[in-house]
Each structure stands twice: as C-alpha cells, then as structure tokens.
Structure 1
C-alpha cells in the first residue's frame, strides 16, 4: 500500500502548476510535509528527488513551499491528505437541504492564527514571535449581525479600528454572530456571460483550480494567465470583468465556518439594488463532485449564482485582501489552522 500511495503522490506532480520561483516560500520541513500528506519522510524525499521544488538547508534538510505541498495532496487522489479531507469536510453542507443554507444560524467564532505550518506555536513569551494583524467581520454586510464581540479575546491584547493587533500568544479575537442567507436569482445577461466564462474556464481545465500563494493572488491576472486559480483569483477576476461590463461588483473575502475555518473568497454584484453573491469556485467544486472526493451537488452549484449562504462570514476588505498578516506581510496559507467556529450554545 505504501508503494501505491507513493506513486499517487508522484503522479500528482503532473496535475498542477508549481509555485513560480519568484513567489515561492520554501520554509516547510520534511516532518511537516509528511504530516500534511499523511506520508512517510521517505515518500517526501522521493517527491524532492522527482522534481518538487525545494531548497536544502544544512540543518533542516529539504524545505518546501507549503502551497506546493497542498497541491500535491489535493491532486494525489489518496483521499487521506489534509487538503483532501479538509475540502470534503468543508463542503459537506452543500448536500444538505437548501433551506438549511439560508436560515438564520448563530456561530461562535475564534480567530487565533497559527504561526507554524504544523499548527504549533513557536516561542514561549509575549514577544517571541511575529506581530499579528487580523481583519474583523464586516458588520455592514447583508445578513451579518453581531451578537457578542468581536474584540480581542478576554484578557488578550488590544486593538483599534478595523483590525486588531497583538503579540504572538495574545492574538486574534472571539465573537458570536448571526448569519442569515438569502436565496436570489440573477437576471442580467451581462452577469450570466461573465459568470459562464469564468466557471467554464475552470470546468474545461483551461484554468486549474489549485492552491495559489498570497503573492500570486495579489497578481490575479498573472495567475489566470498562468492557468491557475483559487477562490481569491477567480473572484477578483470575476469582479474585474463585471465592472468592465458596467456593473457594481466587489471581490469579498472572509471565512467558511465549520469545526475549523477556511479562508474563502467570492464576488458581490449589485442588481436592482440587491447585493448578490457569486461563488465560482464553490460552483465548480460542487459540479465536479467525486473527482475531488466531494459529493456532486447540482442544486448547490446553481445557488452559488446569486444566493448568500449562512456559513460565510465576510470580513472588512476592499478587494479580497488577506485576512491575516505577520509583521505587516500577508500570513502564509497554513495560518488558517487557527480559525474555528461552532454553532452557538443556547443561553
């Protein structure tokens, strides 16, 4: 079985585009890579020998870009890697009854970003790590109601304005929110045309849906031209094209809530004075279904064209900017391991 798993990991290298060398962040060691891929250290070493980009540190050995590792996991097809399991878990709600996507739902959320790829916090004191800045929920967004917070967790840190900053161990915030979805349809043919172009590019594999590092997300047109996209890239591109067509549109970013949270982005377009959500990546994933270990959900895929879901918490951004920063720079993908939510307990 180990040989078959090793072969699956190696085969994944031909199914995605590695991170361009100029934006790569090679700081993930073999142990962390093995944990993420549910693989042995020897299997990770074979990935390096076969061509997975890396650098060799004299003390730590091969170091990889974490986004590349996530793509190996997503495309290997073993069904056991962290990204495969995470995607299946996060998308389970898509096969629930449609009414459950829209009804008011109360959440207790905690945003305390991890500072290491393995989910472990380095340092033992308040000044032992990066200064963390996090974006807070957008309380002006439709369907978002604050019940408690947000603010620094009790006894933790301080903040002001739109963001909260705090030393390493005293970072993030906790809050309770009520999210209410909305079932909407879209009529404008200009929106239909742009939506179909973006979703069809993903469905036809002209553009590969894969993990994209934050520096490349910031240059979303370059990413699309390279033939790669994630939710941030697709949503920014969608917003660009809708605005070019004369519509009011904004790329949004926030959290997909569940037992663990996920950074997610979508597009907001205004039609007849109503803000409607367009989620090309959700629509794509729900359409391809079992190809990525997610059950097909055609009704959900259709709802991604206009409807708002009660598991998506938008944060304050102008154009899907990063939600977490370390020392003023966008935090890596793995920082999101410190985000979680649960249904609010009845008082």
Structure 2
C-alpha cells in the first residue's frame, strides 16, 4: 500500500459523514474524482471501502472533509483553502488594516411564487468597518437586522463595504480556561450543513467541530459560567465567501470579544501560518471576518410569500477591491 493511498483510507475511516436527511448527493463519479484528485484506482478503493454515495452520486461536504483530512496537497479543497488563507502568513498588524470589498447577492426561488425577500444585514461596523454604498434591482429597506426587498425575483443587491480589525486577547481567566479546554480536545474542523449542527453533542463526541456546533456549545458554557454571550453568524471573506459562525462574549474588561475556536482549528489547514494566529482567534476582531445580524445556523436569506417563509436560494460573492 502506498503512503498516499493509506492516507486516503485513513481519512475515510475518520470521516464524519453528512447525516441522512441532510445529504445533497449532486456530484457524479467524474466530478467527485475531480474534487479529490486521488486517481481512479484510489477512488475505486475509497468507494469499495465505504465512501458514502447515493447511487453513484456524492455529497460535496463529504468529499471536502475527506480531502482536507487526507492532506495530500493536490485536492481542490486543500488548494482552495491554502490559497484563501495565505494571509495568515502575514504579520498580525495586517489583520487590523482597513480593507475594501465589493459584494454581490442574488436571491431566487425554485418556483415563480410572488413574494418579497430579506437578507441578513451585514454588520461591518462591529469590526470597525462600514457599509459604504449599494444598489439593487428592487426597492430596498434596511432594518436593524435585514436588507428587505420587494418582489418579484430574482433580486440582485450589490455594493461595497469596508472591514478592519483589532488584535487582542481575553482578559477573563474563566473564559480562557473554557476555551482552552475545548481546543485541547483536538477537534477537527469539518464542513456540515448548518441545520444538522444544532444537536451538537453527537458531532462533538465524534471528534469534529463545525462552526455552528462549536459556537453553540461554547455559548452555553460561557453563559453557565455567568457571562453574557451570543452566537454570531457571518462570513469568512476571501475564502469562497464561506458562511461561518462564532461566539461573542462580554469579557471582564467590559469589551465584547469574538471567540472563534473553529477558526483556530481552520488555521491548521493554512500553509505556514503566523504563530500568532491561534491566539488572535480568541478575542480578536480580524479584517477578513464580516459579521452579520444573525445567530449561528440561521438562514442568511428568506423568501416571504402568502404561504409562509422559506430559505431563499442565494448566491453571495464578496471580493477584495484591488486584490491581485
């Protein structure tokens, strides 16, 4: 057995598969092999060894988690993550620098039912930034929690924002102890549908920690210790605009600080990250994070119709202005 084949099979043995009822098996074998880039022989071995599939179709989250854990360096998820996290090599002062971003949102529904739309409001001001300008294909109203749009769809919304950051740590020894105990358990980051993460106990018991499960757990632990805490949903900018969640807690100095234990785990996937990044994830606001007016695991956009409210099909693209 070659070392690479053994790495793939070991990763498969550790895979936490997307639970039944949440799987979206859209990729055929050719597309799945293109994601993994493991070669047809190893791919056949993985299928024979139990790589989850439904009639020869595979869930993208399963493939992403398998590839990141195998660590061959050739898979598409690894290359994308390493490219997106290359900023982690830089000096911590660069994580505070004001940055400019353009955004584009498109919301649609799979049918033609008339209605209105809402999208979680960006809150860059929490990180020292600003929603600077915008335009929309429909009339837009900005509330404390949402951008609201009239129908019909699809609705497009675009503009520019700025972000900034502040590198600092937790003052409270109690908060540090809770966070350190969580990190010392050695959880691996995985990507799972947000809806399945609210029942976090079996997920964490399996040794994996996606962001909604981890932030929900830590919020409860912080609150049990007597601290004011909430989960926060938002986006990791520059990383395929990945929806993300973390905890915000009021520290002993009265400052509300993010605690992003999952981002600390995610930094293990970066190539030669700065040694200061793990500490910065626990208490700092970082300019690559965009907070939203939303809690962990809540849908980012909604379609409102006479028949009720449902998540909208959403395409969100956020790109750095002037990036090379």
Which residue number corresponds to residue 311 of structure 1?
Answer: 288
Partners in 2 of 1:132 and 1:83 — Cα distance?
Answer: 32
- Tell me if 1:196 matches 2:184: no
Does residue 323 of structure 1 match 2:297?
no
1:106 maps onto 2:100 in alignment: yes
Deviations 1:237-280 (A, max 9, x none): 11111111111111112111127422222221112331111111
- Secondary structure in 2 matching 1:298: coil
Q: How many angstroms apart in 2 are the aligned matches of 1:114 and 1:192?
A: 43
Q: Could you tell me which residue of structure 1 aligns to residue 130 of structure 2?
A: 145
Bigger CA drift: 105-114 or 310-319? Answer: 105-114
TM-score with structure 2 setting the length: 0.81
Question: CA, structure 1 residues 330+196, in 2 after alignment: closer, same or farther (shift >3 Å)?
Answer: farther
Choose 254-263 or 166-175, whichever is displaced more.
Answer: 166-175
**C-alpha distance in 2, partners of 1:81/1:283?**
22
**Alpha-carbon offset, residue 341 of structure 1:** 0.9
Aligned equivalents of 1:87 and 1:191: distance in 2? 29
- 1:343 counterpart residue number: 321
Q: Is 1:12–1:76's contact at 8 Å kept on the other side of the alignment? A: yes
Shift of 1:166: 8.6
| Structure 2 residue aligned with 1:284 | 265
- Deviations 1:112-145 (Å, cap 9, x if unpaired)? 4899xxxxxxx9xx959xx986423025634231
Q: Distance in 2 between matches of 1:132 and 1:262?
A: 21
Aligned to 2:46: 47
Matched, 1:217 2:211: no
Secondary structure, counterpart of 1:83 in structure 2: helix
What residue number does 1:208 align with? 188
Q: Residues 108 and 293 from structure 1, CA distance in 2 versus in 1: closer, same or farther, beyond 3 angstroms?
A: closer
Q: Does 1:81 align with 2:81?
A: no
- Aligned residue pairs total 311
1:255 corresponding residue in structure 2? 235
**Matching residue of 1:294:** 271
Residue 23 of structure 1: aligned partner: 22
**Counterpart-to-counterpart distance in 1, 2:282 and 2:322:** 28
Change (3 A) 1:34 1:232: same
RMSD: 3.4
> Partner of 1:141: helix, strand, or coil?
helix
1:94 aligns with 2:93: no
* Residue 37 (structure 2) aligns with: 38
When normalised by structure 1's length, the TM-score is 0.76
Structure 2 residues without counterparts, runs of 5 or longer:
304-308
8 Å contact from structure 2 (residues 246, 259) kept in 1: yes
Match of 2:159 among 164, 175, 178: 175
Q: 1:330 to 1:157 in 2, by over 3 A?
A: closer
Q: More deviation in 21-30 or 238-247?
A: 21-30
In the superposition, relative to structure 1, how do residues 227 and 4 fare at CA in structure 2: closer, same or farther (>3 Å)?
A: closer
| Equivalent residue in structure 2 for 1:71, among 65, 74, 86 | 65
